[in-house]
Chain A
Amino acid sequence: MVEISKKYAVQMRGITKSFGTFKVLDDVELDVKKGTIHAILGENGAGKSTLMNILYGLYSSDSGEIYLNGKLQFLKNTAVAIKSGIGMVHQHFMLVDKFTVIQNIVLGNETTGRFGIIKTRESREKVKEIIDRYGLNVDLNRKVRDLSVGQQQRVEILKALYRGADLLILDEPTAVLTPMEIEDLIRIMGSLVADGKTIIIITHKLKEIKKSAQECTIIRRGKFIDRVKVEDETEKTLAKKMVGREIKLKVDKTPFNPGEEVFSIKNLHVRCCRGIETVKGLSLSIRRGEILGLAGIEGNGQKELIEALLCARHVDSGEIRINGEEIQNTSPGNVLKCGVSAIHADRHKYGIVLDFSVAENAILEKYRDKPYCERGFLNYKERDKFTNKLISEYDIRPKDCKDLLIRELSGGNQQKLVIGREIANEPELLIAVQPTRGLDVGAIEYVHKTLINLRDKNKAILLISLELDEIMDLSDTIAVMYDGAINGVFKSGEADENDIGFLMAGGQENEQCC
């Protein structure tokens, strides 16, 4: 154990925290050197966020001590934490959509003149200075709702710096970013650290830890496992420490052996809710036994495309066919009947009903069919039988969760249920939209394996993801979406990350990138 010293920005000792009878953190310690990027690594539900929320004063720990710069501190609420120079950027941003960037930054910390009138000029100059120093470019006069996710994150970071943060906690900062935005973020973190700031990032993405952090604390199931120098470890050894067992980071795939075409999109045109055309003549086709990965930066029409495929949005022109049958502009029910199932990125919104039990969610798409429903009445016995089958088949934990509300399950287990449910539909085409978003390495491995198995059963899969790695690993064919249309199609292995990234950014296939 390191002794308490001024060299460390944060030192936490013996932190224990329980929610009810459940011990989330058990005697955890943390040492973060000043002027470094320190990663906290752990699976979902390992207690990383809780630990950081304690540091930020959101929760109070049941026992344990916190030292800032070698001094014992009692952080009883966030106001004290902020005063002590701690800033936190949450996974879900805490911004007021309708306010401009500058309004959001000064919110709650306005410099006011006489009569309480806000003096924007002073704050504006202060913010501009921060922007220039760290390269955090963002237009101060735009409304937050018009910004991309990456830019919103910058606003959050600016907010923390504006309040004088020396220690910045970033909770899963890369979960929602595109590869390029991640690069930017890492660059910004570098310049912050160079200026003497200290950064803690919570993440389960090994690659980013390798790229950015100097040291890493690993937590597993609420217990401190190890503190390591990142340069001494490989992704594999980190993963093993995090999960506690060997993990395959790359999926094994059987050879690609496609069948006939089952699904096709021809010249599809869709408008978004503001009436602007965002899908502009997109065409695509998928064969049996094929995983088609659709890569692309967020905001290039993916959202509208997915909604159109599921008939949640009107198609202006073009056709969508499954097994030769046109399905555009019918109904979500019809799409389901035709054998198209979907796993959504935002499962809380589109995939499950949080206030339903696990069993009710399990039959969400089957409730109207025999034997789950007879003469208008639900058959609970059949429902429970089916649910238990999914629970054991997909290893959903805890084992006897069928009557629990699904919101009480962890994200990974929720996703397992969704995937199990969709696959039980025996779909002709499975649309998987960021199926691993927010999942930890163990769960990701499981999801990937399941998708590959489905492909091997000669089904078609459309994988839409912002994470290029995932697409590169799983897909047999990779299509790049840019500005509402397909900007290039590769066979797996034909192109590397740079080629695809180039196309994602709108480059043309024939002009070679450097």
Chain B
Amino acid sequence: MSNAVNILKKPFIATVISVILGFLVSLFVLSAAGYDPFKSMAVMISSIFSRPKFITNVIIKSTPLILTGLSAAFAFRTGLFNIGAEGQYIIATVVSTLVGLVFNFHPVVQIPLVIISGVIAGALLGGFTGFLKAKFGIHEVITSIMLNWIALYTCNYAANLEAFHKPESNGTYPINKSGISMLLYDWKFSEQGRAFLKDNSLLNDIILKTDLNLNFLIAVAMAIIIWIIVYKTKIGFEMRAVGFNHHAAMNAGIRVNRNIVYSMLIAGALSGLAGALTISGTSNNAIQVLSVFENNGFNGLAVALIARSSAIGCIFAGLIFSGLIYAGQSLQFKIGVPSEIINIMIGVVVFFVALTKMFPAIVEKFFMRRSENVK
């Protein structure tokens, strides 16, 4: 009995079980809404795993989620709530797009330039939130929510700037080709490239039909780097100490305010990286007028929750989340499930992960009652 409980207490296993349970319950939701749960299940699985292209798409779409998830998870670890990931993401897409449109260097310079400019923009916005908290004690959630809107409207303003606005669209021109980091981007448009790809169905599938890029590897690398920063370095130690107990940290000679700003800078930079990589690495390569938030940042909070704020966990959580969204869209056009039901399903999965801590307690109670009955 205690064995079972102990296994359930292991975060990894507990989370996996919650995800599966959440998934099962969400199938109930589907059948309650009048859709065949087994067929839905089959569609969801096949729409993720049945073709290399689908897997590639899920991975590509998981990248921004992993990064904003990391941003939120990192902030959680250091005692902050980075609800501003959304705004940091948006501002990074804006700056990356503008930089990618204004400059046109060789790709070796241009791609890093586009990405780093976005990272800096996100970091500055995050850092500003941290600065306001450190200097004036304004809670980061309040400033972040406001900055999210400021970022949204900045984006809408930038997308309509005469110099960059693409006529007959609601966005800017795509960034200069030298800044685009999709693999073999030219092949998609050149006749020879298409001809070559036609003969090779696998390559045709994943190069021509997806935004194949290396962003996922960058996200994985960032997860590892963040893990190292948090657990292996002096600065990570300081930030964690400040996050858990800033009184004790201050008495131990740690500069609390500086560390709050650093934490938010790093969290902002991660969200910014998510935005910059999206601009450089996925199609459109441009910003659009946003009427509502696209939820890249807010979904990051959910990813961090699924990952229980573990940096490495964010990789898997991001993949799960992106898989759910991607499979959800397939569910929509194959079975006709409305997106509200799909959002409820995703919500149920996240909800169950949030309840993970309850399971060991429930199992414990269950076994206790049984052993009482035996008596």
Give chain A's interface residues, CB within 8 Å of chain B. 20-21, 310, 312, 331-337, 342, 344, 349-356, 360, 364-365, 367-368, 373, 376-378
Contacts and interface: CB of A to CB of B under 8 A. Distances in A.
Contacts of A378: 232-234, 237
Closest 4 CB pairs of A and B: A333-B253, A336-B253, A353-B245, A355-B244
Given A21-B2, A367-B234, A312 B245 contact: no
11 contacts: A332-B250, A332-B253, A333-B255, A336-B253, A337-B253, A356-B241, A367-B234, A373-B234, A376-B235, A377-B232, A378-B234
B232 A356 contact: no
A356 B253 contact: no
Most central of B2, B240, B241 by chain A CB within 10 Å: B241
Contacts of B248: 349-353, 364
Interface in B205-250: 232-235, 237-238, 240-241, 244-245, 247-250
A349 B252 contact: no
A333 B248 CA distance: 12
Given A331-B255, A352-B248, A365-B253, 11 more contacts: A332-B250, A333-B255, A350-B248, A353-B249, A356-B241, A356-B244, A367-B234, A373-B234, A377-B233, A377-B234, A378-B234
B373 interface: no
Contacts, number: 68
Contacts of A336: 252-253
Contacts of B251: 310, 312, 332, 342, 344, 350-351
Nearest to A361: B248
A360 B245 contact: no
Interface of B: 2, 232-235, 237-238, 240-241, 244-245, 247-255
A333 B253 CA distance: 4
Contact of B245 (A332, A354, A367): A354
Contacts of A20: 2
Contacts of A331: 253, 255
Contacts of B255: 331, 333
Nearest to A63: B375
Nearest to B245: A353
Contacts of A368: 234, 253
A488 B53 CA distance: 83
Nearest to B236: A378
Contacts of B232: 377-378
Nearest to B242: A353
Most central of B237, B253, B255 by chain A CB within 10 Å: B253
Nearest to B240: A356
A373 B244 CA distance: 21
A360 B240 CA distance: 11
Nearest to A336: B253
Given A360-B237, A378-B234, A354 B244 contact: yes
Contacts of A351: 248, 251
A364 B241 contact: yes
Contacts of B252: 332, 336, 364-365
B161 to A, nearest CB: 42
Contacts of B237: 360, 367, 378
B253 A376 contact: no
A333 B254 contact: yes
Contacts of B249: 353, 364
Contacts of B254: 332-333
Contacts of A344: 251
A475 to B, nearest CB: 24
Contacts of B244: 353-356
B247 A350 contact: yes
Nearest to A334: B253
Most central of B2, B234, B235 by chain A CB within 10 Å: B234
Nearest to B254: A333
Contacts of A373: 234
A404 to B, nearest CB: 15
Nearest to A374: B234
A349 B253 contact: no
A349 B247 contact: yes
Most central of B232, B237, B240 by chain A CB within 10 Å: B237
Contacts of B250: 312, 332
A108 B237 CA distance: 44
Contacts of B253: 331-337, 365, 368
